[in-house]
Amino acid sequence: MTRWLGGAALTATAVLVAGCSGGMSGGKDESSASATPSLSAVPAQKLDWGRCEATSEGPAPGGDWRCATLRVPLDWSKPDGETIGLALIRSEATGERSERLGSLLFNFGGPGGSGVSTLPSYAGLTSELHKRYDLVSWDPRGVGGSEGVRCRSDKEIQAAESVDATPDDAAEEKAFFDDAAAFGAGCERAAGKLLSHVSTADTARDMDLIRRAVGDRKMHYFGISYGTELGGVYAHLFPGNVGRLVLDAVVDPTADAVGHAKNQTLGFQRALDNYLASTGQDPKQGTRKIADLLERIDADPLPTTSGRKLTQTLAITGIVLPLYSEQSWPGLTSALDAAEDGDGTELLALADGYNERDPSGRYGTTTHSQRVISCLDQKQRPTPQETKTLLPEFRKLSPVFGEFLGWDTAGWCHDWPVPGLTDSPEVSAPQADPVLVVGNTGDPATPYEGAEKMARELGEDVGVMLTWKGEGHGAYGSGSRCVDSTVNSYLLAGKVPEDGKVCA
């Protein structure tokens, strides 16, 4: 089972759904934010920047990139206790030293995305910012080089691809929930006590240690997708340390787990409608055609040139991937045409790209880390019966994506080994400096409405809204000179745009 990610890494490569945190009651739970431990209990550290090594995510970046390890408390309620290491990466500002503004910290979403492997490939979009900022990112706790969690083997991952994520009968339903429970048990074996200490609030506190370690008085930050939730939580915990924060492809901070699933169902269907209209099809008729194709694949998976079968779940994942970027829409047309002709090869290749499966059959672990983090954040755990009552509403929102995301509300954290922490993230930061919130009206993974809610929740005169009427996941670096220049002016000159500015 795969929940869709949100992140710049996936969008930029054009080949992460933003992770959920939420609760059944719908009210805020401030238990994780009510008492922020003092950083004074954590010894000051001098980072030893050295040559970056190759990782499981890719080769060493070379050039001016340098890597280091920062020690942070495993348990922030015991800041002078056991520590874990966080993997960091940096490239120093390319301009005059006298014009340097400090460090600009990036989180690319997921949750579960590796900043160490992503930042070098993303840096080309930020050349203007790089002149005056050191570009910095990190693997959050539980991710990649920072105690990354791997919950099952490659063989087990491939075997799980045969599990139907939209069960049609009692046997398929049992297999679905048995697989979910087995995944959680694997995460518990792999992560041990770390499993209870990978929350968004934990990572926000780590961020402030990073700020101190790089020598910045204020936090300058660029958060994308889930990174916007992380940035909002940071602003709530450390409002006095907020410098220039950009939140792009914004997660709705008011939504619970079911609310996030509904948001994504709406967002991906909206993107599918826009894609179908771009091909000259009626969106309603085109959606019905795709839904019919998926029903046929559910009953009889399609053959592929690799010998593997394209299941319904893999087909849906293959359809989702190109919707993250308008430039990938022609590939979706080709894959759907081939599937209609009985060949699942192209849709399977798209699904493999999303699932980080290489030609040798090795899988990445981003979705493992994503699940470990989001299931600790997320208090709401709908039962199978509660989910079944929700399915008609999900199907109405989208005949293509609704059932998948509806079942996911129960399966994602089913029988999880540790309880969830919060109902929904607290992001209010009434004493912080202005935060630039960027919403894209055509964003499939983090629908535009989430940006409006984030700006409102941050507080009056804090959340400043910038709208782009575009397509794809995220706005910065997506082809709008208006967006890019507005963001650059804010980060480089501190120029806060008028709240409500629209880039068409």
Please list the active-site residues: 225, 443, 473
In angstroms, the CA 250 to CA 469 distance is 14
Cα-trace Rg, the chain:
21
Does residue 51 sit in helix, strand or coil? strand
Contact 380, 353 (CB under 8 A): no
Contact 16, 110 (CB under 8 A): yes
Contact 246, 438 (CB under 8 A): yes
- Give the phi and the psi of residue 302 in degrees, each rounded to 5: -85, 145
In angstroms, the CA 125 to CA 96 distance is 20
Does residue 178 sit in helix, strand or coil? helix
Nearest to 7 by CA among 157, 121, 85: 121
Compute CA 153 distance to the chain's CA centroid, rounded to the nearest angstrom: 22
Token pair 């029988």: residue = 415
Contact 454, 467 (CB under 8 A): no
